[in-house]
Amino acid sequence: MGDITRADLKGQPARAVRRGISYKADLLVYRVNGEDVLLKDYRHKVGIWRDVLGAMFTGREARALRALRGVEGVPQFRGRPDPYCVAMTFIEGSRIRKADQAVRGNEEFVRQLRRTVREMHRRGVVHLDLKHRSNLMVSKAGHPVVLDFESALCFRRAWLIGRVAVLLLGQLDWLAVQNWTRRLCPHMLALSGSYKRRGRLARELLPWWLPRRIMDAMLDIIVPGGGRTPGSR
């Protein structure tokens, strides 16, 4: 399938998964060429929320998803119909905060999550907000799916500085994986060696990184009475 355009979406009914507040994307599901496609869309936001934040966030997510084409455990890129949205495959499932009981004790779930993160880093993509519960989903088949790459950074691993950046910032992703392992399968944790080193390094890096949730808190202050809608981050 080629990249989806606005012409492909025109006249197609959309199912709203979420209507975002002023600085949150609308999540809309379309049926295109026999496939359910999720559109993360800022087009109906106003001013800076669309022209600056919307363009920046969807551009960052599009870049990450392009780099991750073919990787299991992440939505597949389906196009960028305009500068304010990004299209990806729609994956049926449940956010892990609602489904963690179903996968608790499932070692294969944890191993699959580790493989996905390892492949993300091999392709130069660092998520940086994987610890947030809304960014990990359990598919209908019971597999982990990493969501929301608006905070992700992409690096060229062909360059030394890119490899170093992935090595250092990637520790934040591995700390999140460690936390998920502790929550779901604590018996799998190797609390010596690499896990301890990763945990120490990640804790040292945390003060230098502004995660998306801090940005959300700042925007909540800027937008009085923004109020989160059910299902929004």
| pLDDT for the residue 231 | 40
Does a structural domain hold residue 135?
yes
Does a structural domain hold residue 172?
yes
In sign, the C-alpha dihedral spanning 114, 119, 121, 127 is negative
Picking from 89, 110, 139, the residue at the C-terminal end of a domain is 89
Domain with residue 76: its CATH number is: 3.30.200.20
What SS3 class is residue 40?
strand
Verify that 108 and 192 share a domain, yes or no.
Answer: yes
Q: Which residues contact 200 (CB under 8 A, 6 or more apart)?
A: none
Does a structural domain hold residue 229?
no
Domain with residue 142: its CATH number is: 1.10.510
CB 49 within 8 A of CB 57: no
CB 144 within 8 A of CB 73: yes
Verify that 78 and 111 share a domain, yes or no.
Answer: no
List the domain range (segments joined by +) for residue 39: 6-89
Picking from 89, 121, 148, the residue at the C-terminal end of a domain is 89
| pLDDT for the residue 108 | 95
pLDDT digits (tens, 9 = 90+) for 39-91: 999 998 988 889 999 999 999 999 999 999 999 999 999 999 999 999 999 99
| pLDDT for the residue 195 | 58
Q: What would the two tokens of residue 74 be? A: 């992440």
Verify that 108 and 75 share a domain, yes or no.
Answer: no
Q: Name residues of the chain where pLDDT drops below 70.
A: 1, 98-99, 190-233
Does a structural domain hold residue 136?
yes
Does a structural domain hold residue 30?
yes
Name the E strands within 120-176: 125-126, 136-139, 144-146, 153-154
Burial 193-210 (b: 16+ CB within 10 A, else e): eebeebbebbeeeeeeee
| pLDDT for the residue 19 | 85
CB 224 within 8 A of CB 141: no
Picking from 37, 56, 89, the residue at the C-terminal end of a domain is 89
Q: List, in sequence order, every residue forming a beta bridge with 229; answer none if it has no partner.
A: none
Verify that 97 and 199 share a domain, yes or no.
Answer: yes
Whole-structure pTM value:
0.80
| pLDDT for the residue 24 | 87
